[in-house]
Structure 1
Amino acid sequence: MNPAGHPSANPCEQALAAWSGRHPVSSTSVVAVAYSAGADSTALLLAGASRWPGRVVALHVHHGLQAAADGFEQHARAFCDQHGVPLRVTHVDASHERGQSPEDAARDARYAALARLSQDAGAACVLLGQHADDQVETLLLALSRGAGLPGLAAMPERFERHGEVFGRPLLGVAAADLRSWLQDHGHTFVDDPSNIDERFTRNRIRARLLPAWEACFPGFRGLLARSARHAAQAQRLLDELAAIDLARTGSPPAIEALQSLSRDRQGNALRAWLRQLGVAPSAAQLDELLDQVADCITRGHGIRLKVASGFVTRDGARLSYGPASQPPTL
């Protein structure tokens, strides 16, 4: 209740209206909400059902990673029945491969499953419940790892994966506001016990760093979110510059044309070229590649640098990227 005694509005509703204003949804389209049964997705689902009555479908992914997962699904079914929202559920195998973290494996499996469910439902997009605290955690995690602009840009509010559009309308809404509204209005949700396990870095940030930031800088979430937006804008400009430079050097890049650019522009163009191939070089690998390009001043000078599962090599006048078994070409 607000001070005047009237029911308070779901804080997600204004955020959802703003997001859909920037990314319009057709007046006849189905909208999917990724519904874990947790607090954030519960508040988002209720806001979506209020904004688009009869056009919202809830998508629930059962990872099978913990005993509580069965209870999450049961709660999701009961809640959706209570509120008249259609629910689609799928079970996935989120086991991780050698060298892959369990968190990455679960996230990849979840996005793939959500895309399939959404496509089956004929939905225009899938809305995700990540909020301002999640965005701050992502930014602090990126800072702690020495990330570049893509990492500092944190989570985008709209992106595409597995042929599906995903949206994050709640990146400006604090977790405490969501929970307070749900509790004030008697809406039930589940708490994932893994969210308090401080073996995970993100949970340590949530439990230890965020309270300290709040004590020193009240309202810091909005300020850090602004920094993330600035980083995203700067990255978009770098992407535009890379497109201009790759149009000049060709893709794959011609070595001589690449050498005519400043080292910073070379690095930006090379990152963009490799990103088009699904490859992300480390800072050390990119520096080494730039050194090899700079030294490539004779016809017989070779280039060979391992990046991810393949090699960047010289192929005549141009660079090339291929599998490890591919022999170097001068």
Structure 2
Amino acid sequence: MDNPAAHALASWAVSLPLGVAYSGGADSTALLHAAAARWPGQVHALHVHHGLQSVADDFERHCASTCDALGVPLHIGRVDARHDSGDSPEDAARRARYAALAVLASAQGLQDVLLAQHADDQVETMLIALGRGAGLDGLAAMPREMIRHGVRFHRPLLDVPAADLRAWLAAESIPFIEDPSNTDERYTRNRIRRRVLPALAEALPQFRDTFARSARNAARASALLAELAEIDLATAGMPPAIEALQSLSRERRANALRHWLRSAHRAVPSEAQLQQLLDQVEACRTRGHGIRLKVADGFVERDGPRLRWYNVAPSP
């Protein structure tokens, strides 16, 4: 039986040497074996020790043993992935993981890192986005490539079902770690994986393929909206002029404002905040009309003819 991860990597373009994010779980184990076979002597395994579980040291020892057998150097980063009050523990761990992977990769001079997210992960991400009422960016789910912290991350397995990876590991008798947190249904992703995906498989057997196609379509539409926003902001300026925004239709104005806030300030307004901002921009027709609205973790204010965003509101 062929490794399905090997098929996914066959035509994947990367810079060598490269890193593989390796947790010791089934998915990253299949990916590491495929990468080591595809690019012998050019692969580094990058393992993030989150310190969140008592078995984390056992994970590290397992990863070291596997890498020794494959002749792959292992680099380990330790992070504190505990979350702040009000923050999602999953989001906090993910942010810490990407930052640690980038540090490990940069220390070895690696420009590219492979991630083992697969087709089931992509479906879970889309369902979570739907549950949050996300727009096209959220429905596009996980991109196949992205740059974070100066490192290019790749997801070559997004078309590969998790079951195919595990079937290959079982056929080859290759050991991997079963993370006990993956069965904890306090986490939304685990509830979807254990309850929703089996029901989808029964009702819509091709759901992985159709969801993947929808994600690609959403990504294309999102890219077009970003291009349109760039065109509009080239006229309105950065930060945008209120009069130029008023010349746009409401939906186009919303698209430009979302893009400005996200690209310039990494601020994502809620739907209610964005609608309030649109109303205020439309009503701002006199010199004395002020604007001061809470948006994300900052404020949008009128500054003469333009809008400005402040991380902390200035004193009145």
Is the CA contact 2:270–2:296 (under 8 Å) kept in the aligned structure 1? Answer: no
Q: Percent identity?
A: 63
Give, in whole Å, the separation in 1 of the partners of 2:311 and 2:139: 30
Give, in whole Å, the separation in 1 of the partners of 2:257 and 2:135: 15
Q: Does 1:10 align with 2:3?
A: yes
- After superposition, where does 1:159-198 map in structure 2 within 5 Å? 159-198=146-185
**How many angstroms does 1:93 deviate by?**
1.0
Q: Which residue of the partner structure matches residue 25 of structure 1?
A: 14
SS at match of 1:251: coil
Give, in whole Å, the separation in 1 of the partners of 2:304 and 2:315: 13
Amino acid at match of 1:92: V
Is the CA contact 2:22–2:45 (under 8 Å) kept in the aligned structure 1? Answer: yes
Q: Does 1:287 align with 2:280?
A: no
**How many angstroms does 1:46 deviate by?**
0.5
Give, in whole Å, the separation in 2 of the partners of 1:323 and 1:244: 26
- Identify the match of residue 248 of structure 2 among 241, 255, 261: 261
- Identify the match of residue 66 of structure 1 among 35, 39, 53: 53
Give, in whole Å, the separation in 1 of the partners of 2:89 and 2:199: 28
**How many angstroms does 1:96 deviate by?**
1.5
Give, in whole Å, the separation in 1 of the partners of 2:282 and 2:26: 53
Give, in whole Å, the separation in 2 of the partners of 1:124 and 1:137: 28
SS at match of 2:113: strand
**How many angstroms does 1:106 deviate by?**
1.1
Give, in whole Å, the separation in 2 of the partners of 1:88 and 1:152: 34
Give, in whole Å, the separation in 1 of the partners of 2:135 and 2:311: 26
Give, in whole Å, the separation in 1 of the partners of 2:113 and 2:300: 37
Q: Which residue of the partner structure matches residue 5 of structure 1?
A: none
Deviations along 1:80-127, whole A, 9 cap, x unmatched? 111111111121111212322221111111111100100111112111
Q: Does 1:270 align with 2:270?
A: no
**How many angstroms does 1:54 deviate by?**
0.4
Give, in whole Å, the separation in 2 of the partners of 1:212 and 1:182: 25
**How many angstroms does 1:134 deviate by?**
0.3
Stretches of structure 2 lacking an aligned partner (at least 5 in a row): none
Normalising by structure 2, what TM-score? 0.98
Normalising by structure 1, what TM-score? 0.94
Q: Which residue of the partner structure matches residue 292 of structure 2?
A: 304
Give, in whole Å, the separation in 2 of the partners of 1:266 and 1:254: 11
**How many angstroms does 1:327 deviate by?**
4.1
Stretches of structure 1 lacking an aligned partner (at least 5 in a row): 1-7
Give, in whole Å, the separation in 1 of the partners of 2:311 and 2:118: 40
Q: Which residue of the partner structure matches residue 78 of structure 2?
A: 91
| Alignment coverage as a number of residue pairs | 315
RMSD across aligned C-alpha pairs, in angstroms?
1.0
Give, in whole Å, the separation in 2 of the partners of 1:251 and 1:184: 57
Amino acid at match of 1:175: A
Is the CA contact 2:17–2:42 (under 8 Å) kept in the aligned structure 1? Answer: yes
